[in-house]
Amino acid sequence: MSEQKKTSVHEPLFHLAKRSSVNPVRATLIRVAAIVLGMVVCGLVAFVLIEKLNQNPGKIGDFYNCFIKGSFGTERKLWKFLKNMAVLQCISLAVTPAFRMRFWNIGAEGQTLMGVLGSITVAFYLGGKIPEWQLLILMFIAALIYGAVWGLIPALFKAKWNTNETLFTLMMNYVATYVVSYFLVIWVPSGSSTLGKLKFGKLPPLPFGNQYLLIILIVLALTALLFVYLKYSKQGYEISVVGESVRTAQYSGINVQKVIIRTMVVSGLLCGVAGYLIGAGLDQSVTTESVGGQGFTAIIVSWLANFNPLMMIVTSGLISFLNSGAAQISQDFNVSGALPDVIVGIILFFIIGCEFFINYKIVFRKSEAAGKGVTK
List residues near another protein by CB under 8 A. Answer: 74, 76-77, 80, 181, 185, 188-194, 196-197, 282-283, 285, 287, 289-290, 292, 327, 330-331, 334, 336-338, 340
* Side chain identity at residue 105, one-letter code: N
The nearer residue to another protein, 223 or 284, going by C-beta atoms, is: 284
CB of residue 141 to another protein, shortest distance in Å: 23
CB of residue 285 to another protein, shortest distance in Å: 7
CB of residue 201 to another protein, shortest distance in Å: 14
Q: What are phi and psi of 361, to 5 degrees?
A: -125, 155
The nearer residue to another protein, 181 or 257, going by C-beta atoms, is: 181
Q: Where are the beta strands (DSSP E) in the chain?
A: 14-18, 360-364
CB of residue 330 to another protein, shortest distance in Å: 6
3-state helix, strand, coil in the chain (%, to 5): 75, 5, 25
The nearer residue to another protein, 2 or 56, going by C-beta atoms, is: 56
Tell me how far apart the alpha carbons of residues 325 and 317 are, in angstroms, rounded to a whole number.
Answer: 12
CB of residue 220 to another protein, shortest distance in Å: 20
Query: Is residue 307 within 8 Å of residue 99, measured between CB atoms?
Result: yes
CB of residue 118 to another protein, shortest distance in Å: 17
Tell me how far apart the alpha carbons of residues 290 and 109 are, in angstroms, rounded to a whole number.
Answer: 9
Q: Where are the beta strands (DSSP E) in 8-136?
A: 14-18
The nearer residue to another protein, 317 or 340, going by C-beta atoms, is: 340
The nearer residue to another protein, 211 or 240, going by C-beta atoms, is: 211
Question: Residue 138's closest CA among 127, 148, 149?
Answer: 127
User: What is the dihedral angle through the alpha carbons of 309, 100, 256, 263, rounded to the nearest 10 degrees?
Assistant: 40
Q: Are strands 360-364 and 14-18 parallel, antiparallel or unpaired?
A: antiparallel
The nearer residue to another protein, 162 or 190, going by C-beta atoms, is: 190
